[in-house]
Structure formats: C-alpha cells, structure tokens
C-alpha cells in the first residue's frame, strides 16, 4: 500500500498534521494507498508557494516559454496515458478505455492553450480626444485555486490548468478526496518536465481542505467543478471575499428525440448520453424527451438494450459499465431509484443475468423509468448515476417547454433530420451546449459551461482564458502642452 504525498513548491510531503485518507478501488474494495488529509496550514503553504512563484518570475515568463512547457507536458501526458488511465480507473471505477481517452484529450487541451500563451493581445482604442494614446493589457489574475470532482479528474483539471498556465497564473489544485491519485501523478510530471517550483501545487483532503482553499482571501480566482450545493457555498464565500469564481456544476440535461429522427442513431445517443461513465457525468442526458409517434418503440428498445449492458471489471475491454465511484454516491443513486419507483413512474429495468462481480464492488444496474412527470424528483434532481427518465411530448413547442422547465442549463441534445428544426430548437434551448444528432462530443476549441444552477463562466475554447486574465487600461497624454484644469482632468470620473 503506497503512501502518496502532496506537491507544494516543487517538493513532495505529507500533510502537516500527519492525517491521511484511504484511496479505495470501487471495483474490488481494495485499499490502494493513502493520501494526505490536508488542512488550512497545508493550504496556506501551497498558496504562499504559488504567490512567490507568481511574483518571482512566472507572471513575466515569456509566453513562448510557457507554451514550450505546456507542449512538453502534453507530450508527457500522451507518453503516460495508459499509466494515468490505469491509475484513474482503479481510483474511480471508470472504464479504462475512457480514462485513457480522457488523458489523451487532456493532452490536447494543453496543446490548444499552449498556442495562446504568446498571443494574449491587448488592443489600442481610438479616443475622441486628440493627443491621447489608449491601449489595454491582458494580464494574469495571479494565484488560481482549482478544485475538481471525482468523476473525470484528469480531464476536468486540464479544462482549468491549461488556460491558467497559458495566461501566466500559478495554481493550487485540490482534487476530490474520492479520486486524487491521477492528479498526484500529474504533479510529478509537471515537476519532471521543468515547470518552476511553486507554479503548480497540489493539496489533497476532505472538506476542511476544500473550505480553506476556496475561502482564502489570498487567492485571486477560484474555479470549481462539483455539486450544486458545494458550488453555491463557494460562490457565497467568494462573493464575501470579493474573489471571482467560475462554477461548472450539475445538470439534468434533456436529450430530445423528434419523430423524424434516425431512431437507431437516436437510440445509440440516448444510451451513451446516460449510461456512459455510469451516468456519473454532469452532461448526462438523463431526461430523454421522446415525441409521441416514436415514443413506444424507442422506450421498448432503450429498456431492452439497457438490460444487456455488461457490468464488470472496468479494465476489461468487454465491460460496458463499471462500478460507481464511491459508496456515498452508490447509496444516493439507489435512494433515488427507490424514490422513483414510489412516484408512479414505470421502472422498465429487466433483471440482469447474474454476473461474476466482486462482493464489495459498488455496482448499480442501468435503470430506465418511463411515464416520468417533468415535475417529479426523477426529472428535477440530478442523480449522477445510470438512471434514465423518459418523458413523452406532443410537438416542438412542448418539447422546448419541457426541456427548459428545469433549474439547470448545462447541456442538451436534439435528434432530427430536419435542418431547420435543429437550428430553430437549438436557438431556444436554455443550455450552455446543444448537440445535434450526437451527444457527449467534446473539443478543446469549443467553449463549455452552463447557465442557471449549472454554473457560470466557461472552460475550454478561447473563452476559458478570460477566467484567468484581467484587462488593464493605459491612457497616455502625448500632447506637447499640459493644461491644469480641474474640470478637464475630472471629466468622466466614476
């Protein structure tokens, strides 16, 4: 059993208190090792190291050098993708094919933002006053606190770390205590490829560690991915501290199947939308809205296919769904399923053949509910598990109304062969992402984020840089003569 260490100022060390937490394999129940359970003292050390690195040179490091380091880091992640994927699969139970793929996608993110590191241009602004030069500078905000969730640690961190480093920020990273191991391995790679000490720091631990980091007045911005409740608490604290915050929170995303859709393709998209990653993804298409004329066919086929999904070892290429990531999450999912059965919705999940699964494996079988009322908890609350809620609709207007009748607004899907309808509906959906005839597609170039309770701010794409940059205006009087005038110099004061 390995004792893992946190990464502060280029050094690996235990927590100041000596406390640790166990990292457990959700497939076997085996204890993989321990991680430090950091507290406010460790967080303060990490923030101080990040501040010293920022002021000591990283903020003025030429963009071309930051780009070089990001490219080298991307190469290292690609070279170690199989290893990183294996670490993450054992830590959170996600399929190995997906964790390896996410490691490679993370590398793509670092390469994408490396291209921006030396292109953070300001602009000149023509004024209505002769003899004045006005221009802007885009500068790094400073020390960024990056807090990630347990479902996709490497990918979620890349969404934050890549633009932060490209912008010239230094960072303190806090992964979920339920899945920290791949992030700690990344910290080792950061050190190996030559980032200066203190530029990237990683602390691990439970709620005390997270509160100390997100609540610190010594950080300049916070980026959080996780639950709505925790995000709301962080936002409240950041508001009191006057610290900007980016929130990527939950979703209850509608996946809309119109009667003119390619039903085979829509079925595959609906299955992938909710059962990939065991439904433990914020973009899960957990509300499947189906038009009357194709409703019965699609529901019957969806339930039949869901019942044949192969549960098992996430490292086995034949496994289609692994365990959920941790015991508290397994219990929440099972509770939501039981509540759904009591709500009047039809549970269409067939009993699956007995599988040779470990007794301590945290498995939840794919579940399909039909006749779901859009006002019920099944349709309103994020379950974050393999639970599909099918909702019937009559026409386009009702589909849009049902889709938008939610407190969330992260993602959505449209399945139709009518190009005009696709664009028309996409324009009216309240969501940060709209997929048409696909689902869960990602690209480093495409901005991602939500509205409503799904959060605010954007990750990936050029827009992500704005979360780590601030604009400074510089105004220069180039005129030969200077006139002392209170009226003139005071004009425009706020």
- The owner of tokens 């799904």 is 454
- How far is residue 490 CA from its own chain's centroid? 46
Residue among 169, 209, 238, 282 flagged as catalytic: 282
Q: Are 94 and 88 in contact (CB under 8 A)?
A: yes
User: In which element (H, E) is residue 289 found?
Assistant: strand 287-291
**Cα–Cα distance measured from residue 200 to residue 223, given in angstroms and rounded to the nearest whole number:** 15
Task: For the beta carbon of residue 430, count every other beta carbon within 10 angstroms.
Answer: 17
- The owner of tokens 């003025």 is 60
Tokens of 377: 């908890």
Domain-wise residue ranges, the chain: 2-248+461-473, 254-436
pLDDT at 74: 98
pLDDT at 481: 74
pLDDT at 479: 87
Q: SS3 of 361, please?
A: coil
**2-248+461-473 maps to CATH 3.40.605.10:** yes
**Cα–Cα distance measured from residue 262 to residue 370, given in angstroms and rounded to the nearest whole number:** 21
User: In which element (H, E) is residue 64 found?
Assistant: helix 63-79
Q: Are 137 and 122 in contact (CB under 8 A)?
A: yes
Buried b (16+ CB within 10 A) or exposed e, 439-465: bbebebeebbbbebbbbbbbbbbeebb
Tokens of 244: 């900007």
Q: Are 437 and 414 in contact (CB under 8 A)?
A: yes
**Cα–Cα distance measured from residue 325 to residue 309, given in angstroms and rounded to the nearest whole number:** 18
pLDDT at 352: 62
Structure letter (DSSP) for residue 279: G
Q: Are 383 and 333 in contact (CB under 8 A)?
A: yes
Strand bridging mode 170-174 / 143-147: parallel
**CA geometry: angle at 56 spanning 53 and 57, to 5°?**
90
Quick check: do 2-248+461-473 and 254-436 share a fold?
A: no
Q: Are 46 and 16 in contact (CB under 8 A)?
A: no
| Per-run averaged pLDDT (10 residues), the chain, 494 residues | 92 96 94 96 98 96 97 98 97 96 97 97 94 96 97 96 98 97 97 97 96 96 96 95 95 97 96 93 96 96 94 94 92 93 87 73 94 94 95 97 97 97 98 96 93 95 97 93 60 56
pLDDT at 486: 56
**Cα–Cα distance measured from residue 413 to residue 206, given in angstroms and rounded to the nearest whole number:** 35
pLDDT at 355: 66
Q: Are 92 and 179 in contact (CB under 8 A)?
A: yes
Closest CA to 249 of 220, 283, 275: 283
pLDDT at 489: 53
Strand partners of residue 225: 248
pLDDT at 480: 78
Tokens of 286: 């957990």
Q: Are 389 and 330 in contact (CB under 8 A)?
A: no
Whether pTM exceeds 0.95: no
Q: Are 285 and 431 in contact (CB under 8 A)?
A: no
Q: SS3 helix, strand, coil % of the chain, rounded to 5? A: 40, 20, 40
Give the list of residues 6+ apart from residue 83 with CB closer than 8 angstroms, or none.
185
**Cα–Cα distance measured from residue 149 to residue 164, given in angstroms and rounded to the nearest whole number:** 18
pLDDT at 422: 97
Residue among 98, 177, 248, 459 flagged as catalytic: 248
**Cα–Cα distance measured from residue 202 to residue 154, given in angstroms and rounded to the nearest whole number:** 13
Tokens of 314: 């996430």
Classify domain 254-436 at the CATH class level. alpha beta
Active-site annotation holds for 282: yes
Tokens of 344: 């009047």
**Cα–Cα distance measured from residue 300 to residue 413, given in angstroms and rounded to the nearest whole number:** 20
**Cα–Cα distance measured from residue 285 to residue 429, given in angstroms and rounded to the nearest whole number:** 14
């Amino acid at each position: 059993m390995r004792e893992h260490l946190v990464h502060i100022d280029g050094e690996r060390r235990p927590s100041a208190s000596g406390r640790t937490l166990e990292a457990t394999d959700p497939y076997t129940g085996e204890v993989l090792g321990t991680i430090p359970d950091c507290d406010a003292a460790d967080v303060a050390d990490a923030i101080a190291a990040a501040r010293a690195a920022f002021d000591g040179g990283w903020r003025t490091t030429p963009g071309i050098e930051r780009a070089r380091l990001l490219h080298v880091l991307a190469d290292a992640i690609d070279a170690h993708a199989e290893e990183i994927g294996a670490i993450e699969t054992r830590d959170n139970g996600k399929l190995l094919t997906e964790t390896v793929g996410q490691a490679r996608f993370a590398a793509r993110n670092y390469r994408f933002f490396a291209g921006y590191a030396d292109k953070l241009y300001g602009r000149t602004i023509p004024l209505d006053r002769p003899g004045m030069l006005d221009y802007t500078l885009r500068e790094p905000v400073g020390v960024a606190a990056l807090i990630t969730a347990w479902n996709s640690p490497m990918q979620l961190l890349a969404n934050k770390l890549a633009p932060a480093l490209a912008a010239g920020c230094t960072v303190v990273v806090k992964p979920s205590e339920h899945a920290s191991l791949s992030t700690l391995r990344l910290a080792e790679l950061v050190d190996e490829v030559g980032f200066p000490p203190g530029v990237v720091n990683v602390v691990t631990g439970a709620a005390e560690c997270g509160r100390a980091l997100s609540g610190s007045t010594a950080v300049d911005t916070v980026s959080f991915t996780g639950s709505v409740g925790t995000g709301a608490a962080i936002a409240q604290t950041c508001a009191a501290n006057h610290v900007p915050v980016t929130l990527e929170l939950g979703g209850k995303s509608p996946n809309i199947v119109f009667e003119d859709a390619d039903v085979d393709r829509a079925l595959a998209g609906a299955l992938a939308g909710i059962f990939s990653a065991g439904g433990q993804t914020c973009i899960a298409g957990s509300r499947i809205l189906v038009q009357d004329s194709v409703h019965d066919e699609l529901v019957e086929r969806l339930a039949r296919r869901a019942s044949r999904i192969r549960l098992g070892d996430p490292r086995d290429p034949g496994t289609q769904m692994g365990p959920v990531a941790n015991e508290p999450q397994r219990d929440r999912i099972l509770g939501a399923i039981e509540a759904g059965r009591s709500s009047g919705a039809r549970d269409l999940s067939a009993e699956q053949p007995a599988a040779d699964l470990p007794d301590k494996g945290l498995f939840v079988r794919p579940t399909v509910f039909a006749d779901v009322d859009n006002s019920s908890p099944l349709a309103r609350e994020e379950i974050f598990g393999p639970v599909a809620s099918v909702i019937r609709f009559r026409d386009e207007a009702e589909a849009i109304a049902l889709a938008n009748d939610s407190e969330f607004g992260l993602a959505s899907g449209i399945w139709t062969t009518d190009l005009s309808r696709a664009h028309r509906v996409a324009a009216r959906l309240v969501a940060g992402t709209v997929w048409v005839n696909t689902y869960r597609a990602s690209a480093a170039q495409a901005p991602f984020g939500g509205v409503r309770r799904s959060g605010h701010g954007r990750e990936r794409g050029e827009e992500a840089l704005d979360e780590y940059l601030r604009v400074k205006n510089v105004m220069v009087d180039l005129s030969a003569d200077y006139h002392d005038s209170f009226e003139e110099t005071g004009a425009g004061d706020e």
